[in-house]
Structure 1
């Protein structure tokens, strides 16, 4: 699915309640929940979140710029030879579901940070937390229906409502439950493939029966009508591809009418069948890893080296085997659901852990310190940057902007990715020199806490 997401990112998590001195004309209140103060942030988490929110764009750019089926099948559109095919191979190996996995783990980690700091201050978290996720849910709905079908904020918010119940669970149990939920997602994915296979087989039988002059059963008739619609989603004919391209190059209203049914289907059917299980499981694992200090760069260098070796050593072969199976079957979408896709379902989690080990080790060593500071700034503004990627990309590729949808193959698309990375790495630290939060984070806090938080920093770094 789209890396949306969301990230993620997913959406970023705001770690923290802050102590506030009571006003002299009111009864003293020891603490109340406030947005996180900069000194309390974990810089390593911000760096990791920055890498993730930039990394998800590598996959999301396909969904922004190409027909929907091309996200899953490079043979559909976007170039399937030479540099374009190698681009798909590299992005699938390193990024597909890997960065979204990191982003999702960090969402769970954020709840752990919130809970720990709330407990330290003796304040209740529940009310503020659920307002946070409800606001995030609203952001997701607006993002999905008004801008882009690949939104992930909606699903993050729904999963976040359930995560709260697990905030005090021990790491080992979190990992066990998380793994079970991921397995449920894989079983559900397989079940969808089984239904697709049944629909194809029954439709073929119906065609044979009609040719022989036999009356179709109700089930055969239903599958004969359903199968062409299913196939068109994953293996669209040239006429359908051209129709999608023209819609995306057309007006905003026409694109909205195209997008809304797809969003509704994803937010109901795919949420129930897949996203809740997969994302929820990954978030629980992220909560466990936060409790085990994995994301804080506080573990030993040897731990992160082992995490890299195990994650990459097991993950890359699994993802590679899945790619071989996809090429062998010419990206048959039913086979992807039944078998080939599972290699990346498991492999992406392992490779993501390898990425975490690598990033945390580099953070410990302190290499590329300037880049790390910029990545941390991107991570602190992750919600803003995630939404900004949508605004920038849709302006480039949709009809209300430059209308390049369907016109740019995969390899050149990476140039747009690098350009957007450069812009966000440039403006994020500049913004945070003057303001406490990114614009979206500030608005999120305003709606969550019911009062406008201070935004601008003074010359000495204090809030004004």
Structure 2
């Protein structure tokens, strides 16, 4: 009896490669600013302000990385859902149970690092199930409206005409104290203190998700990935080659257009007193920019990874992608060891441009580890545990192992 959602031989190498590339972008986003998933106290960046490397790293991360790879990863999660639906062993009950286990893994991850996305995936994944039988037209409309952050655009439009009162001096002081307290815990606290500080932060994380609209955007990419899987954009990508090339041009030129509009606006109106209309416009342009660049990365990497000259890159990305959950969690482990007080305590002590360069040796180590692991084992360690709990059977771990029941 088949007991896995997608057996190794059935995997689509391209999707694993895209997943590995997405994890590279996620690593850059997190490591550049020391894996700090909370607000940064005033003055931390002051010593780097005039450093050209800091400015370049900040511009690169802000324009090309921030807000573009959690979206890429979310798209692939929706795509995986579509692929799982095609499996003979797929049932809604089993998928919900699988999501629940992922949520528990995310909960444990959140206790160590505030930036966890897996607990968000549990919530958004439950909503995605409701769209499993929706028409393609519904998926297209719903995904685009959510990706463009329509709920937040409506809220911000309302606040433009009916602004909320600014925080009081007391509230600002409380926020500053809260920020400094967590920073001190990360820098000076022991393991138990770090865990204790992260428990109440779970509420803050969901507040941020809804306040920024990221949770809506994530759902939008889940639905777009579901559509891509249904239409077999990647399973039969050769049939859609022209479609990918078309969207590469559209997303690429449109991204340049957004930058050409946003930069002069920022220079002209970005300084001085806050301007509500300017903030409203720039927020909307930012969401469009993130959408277009995410599309550009998805279609661009799909085309590149199918080239013979990129075969080596595909193999390296794919070994990370086959162990995506393990790789994602191990990135956090590395970040905590490098930057937190329980490790080498480098948070705030190392220029972000140096941290950005650290991405490549860290990612290289992950590739080497993944290659070694997959040469001996069928799944990554966390993937194996996730599958075993999903099916309530010990899944084969060493190559050639038989499935065993608990």
Q: Give the TM-score range, shorter chain.
A: 0.7 to 0.9
Q: Does 1:426 align with 2:368?
A: yes
Q: Which runs of 4+ in 1 moved over 4 A?
A: 70-80, 191-197, 227-230, 319-328, 330-337, 461-464
Moved more, 148-157 or 81-90: 81-90
Q: 1:212 is matched with which residue?
A: none
Q: 2:76 is matched with which residue?
A: 106
Alignment of 1:387-426 (within 5 A): 387-426=329-368
> Which residue, out of 30, 37, 53, partners 1:83?
53
Q: 1:314 is matched with which residue?
A: 254
Is 1:318–1:347's contact at 8 Å kept on the other side of the alignment? yes
Q: 1:141 is matched with which residue?
A: 107
Q: 1:305 is matched with which residue?
A: 245
Counterpart-to-counterpart distance in 2, 1:295 and 1:189:
36
Counterpart-to-counterpart distance in 1, 2:375 and 2:364:
18
Q: 1:3 is matched with which residue?
A: none
Is 1:108–1:284's contact at 8 Å kept on the other side of the alignment? yes
1:103-156, Cα deviation, whole Å (9 max, x unpaired)? 111111111111122xxx3x55111100110011111111112x1101110111
Q: 2:202 is matched with which residue?
A: 263
Counterpart-to-counterpart distance in 1, 2:33 and 2:249:
32
Is 2:6–2:84's contact at 8 Å kept on the other side of the alignment? no
Counterpart-to-counterpart distance in 2, 1:377 and 1:255:
32
- 1:172 CA displacement: 2.6
Counterpart-to-counterpart distance in 2, 1:390 and 1:143:
9
Is 1:148–1:259's contact at 8 Å kept on the other side of the alignment? yes
| Alpha carbons of structure 1 residues 312 and 164: separation in structure 2 relative to 1, 3 Å | same
Q: Match of 1:455, SS?
A: coil
Is 2:44–2:348's contact at 8 Å kept on the other side of the alignment? no
- 1:62 CA displacement: 3.9
Is 1:63–1:71's contact at 8 Å kept on the other side of the alignment? no
- 1:176 CA displacement: 0.4
Q: 2:85 is matched with which residue?
A: 115
Q: Does 1:370 align with 2:312?
A: yes
| Alpha carbons of structure 1 residues 306 and 49: separation in structure 2 relative to 1, 3 Å | same
Q: 1:172 is matched with which residue?
A: 137
> Which residue, out of 182, 185, 205, partners 1:247?
185
Q: Does 1:199 align with 2:165?
A: yes
Q: What is the root-mean-square deviation of aligned Cα atoms in Å?
A: 3.3
Q: 2:150 is matched with which residue?
A: 184
- The higher relative CO (CA closer than 8 Å, separation ≥ 6) is in 2
Is 2:244–2:299's contact at 8 Å kept on the other side of the alignment? yes
> Which residue, out of 291, 297, 301, partners 1:355?
297
Is 2:34–2:355's contact at 8 Å kept on the other side of the alignment? no
> Which residue, out of 171, 174, 190, partners 1:226?
171
Q: 2:270 is matched with which residue?
A: 329
Alignment of 1:262-301 (within 5 A): 262-268=201-207, 270-271=209-210, 274-296=213-235, 297-301=237-241
> Which residue, out of 68, 74, 80, partners 2:38?
68
Q: Does 1:381 align with 2:326?
A: no
| Alpha carbons of structure 1 residues 315 and 124: separation in structure 2 relative to 1, 3 Å | same
| Alpha carbons of structure 1 residues 323 and 413: separation in structure 2 relative to 1, 3 Å | farther
Moved more, 99-108 or 72-81: 72-81
| TM-score, scaled relative to structure 2 | 0.87
Q: Does 1:157 align with 2:157?
A: no
1:135-189, Cα deviation, whole Å (9 max, x unpaired)? 11111111112x1101110111111111112123232320101122333343266
Is 1:84–1:411's contact at 8 Å kept on the other side of the alignment? yes
1:41-82, Cα deviation, whole Å (9 max, x unpaired)? 111111111100121111112454458345999966754641
Q: 1:214 is matched with which residue?
A: none
Gaps of 5+ in 1: 1-19, 21-31, 204-222
Q: Aligned residue pairs: how many?
A: 399
Gaps of 5+ in 2: none
